[in-house]
Amino acid sequence: MTSHFNESFDREKLASLMDQHMGLVFLVVNRFNPPQEDYEEYLNIGRVGLWKAIKRYDPSKSKFSTFACSLIKFEIMHHIHSFSAQKTSPLNDEHYFNRPVDVWEYFPKLTDIENKIIAMRIEGHSFKEISQELKIPVHSVRYKFKCIAKKVKEAHEQ
């Protein structure tokens, strides 16, 4: 990599650079030693970090590998931090809404699986624990949880 990324980069060049440096993503992700079920998610987050590194790299300041590893690590740590805040505290009405709301009144509008997920979160279970109990991937639990929050918020605004 000899030049700073600029908007004139075509998609093929970007894809080539992503493929060429994907080993850095594996290196950083493996240092985090993620659970098997979260490994692919970590790789995807690492890819975002690599893309940002390619986009922002300035060869006059550092080696690309050093710069890229730092951004990949930052992206993963940011992701872990944002989910650990959700994971360590059960669903809190005030966390998702501007004013207190009784989530239970919206339960009839949720599917059976959504009801199970929200009930387990309220009890303080982590996404991983819910995933194991319901036998679905962690990323599916997280996605469904976001959908639940959106449904409840939309119902609350009506």
| Cα-based angle 139, 42, 27 (whole degrees, multiple of 5) | 160
Per-residue pLDDT band at 25 (split at 50, 70, 90): very high
Q: Is the pLDDT of residue 140 over 80?
A: yes
The residues near 149 (Cβ < 8 Å, ≥ 6 apart) are 96
What are 9's two structure tokens?
A: 């980069």
Of 3-12, 66-75, 147-156, highest mean pLDDT: 66-75
Please tell me the distance from the alpha carbon of residue 16 to that of residue 101, in angstroms, as a whole number. 49
Last residue of a domain, one of 87, 102, 132: 87
pLDDT of residue 135: 92
In Å, how far are 40, 47, 79 from 86, measured between CA atoms? Answer: 20, 23, 11
Last residue of a domain, one of 62, 87, 112: 87
Q: Give the model confidence (pLDDT) of 26-47 as tens digits.
A: 999 999 888 888 888 889 889 9
In Å, how far are 10, 48, 52, 64, 86 from 6, measured between CA atoms? Answer: 9, 17, 12, 15, 36
Last residue of a domain, one of 71, 87, 103: 87
Is there a domain that residue 126 lies in?
Answer: yes
Q: Give the model confidence (pLDDT) of 87-130 as tens digits.
A: 544 444 444 434 444 545 555 577 888 878 877 877 788 889 99
Is there a domain that residue 1 lies in?
Answer: no
Is there a domain that residue 105 lies in?
Answer: yes
| 59 and 34 part of one domain | yes
CATH of the domain at 104: 1.10.10.10
- Domain span at residue 108 reads 89-157
In degrees and rounded to multiples of 5, residue 29 shows phi and psi of: -60, -45
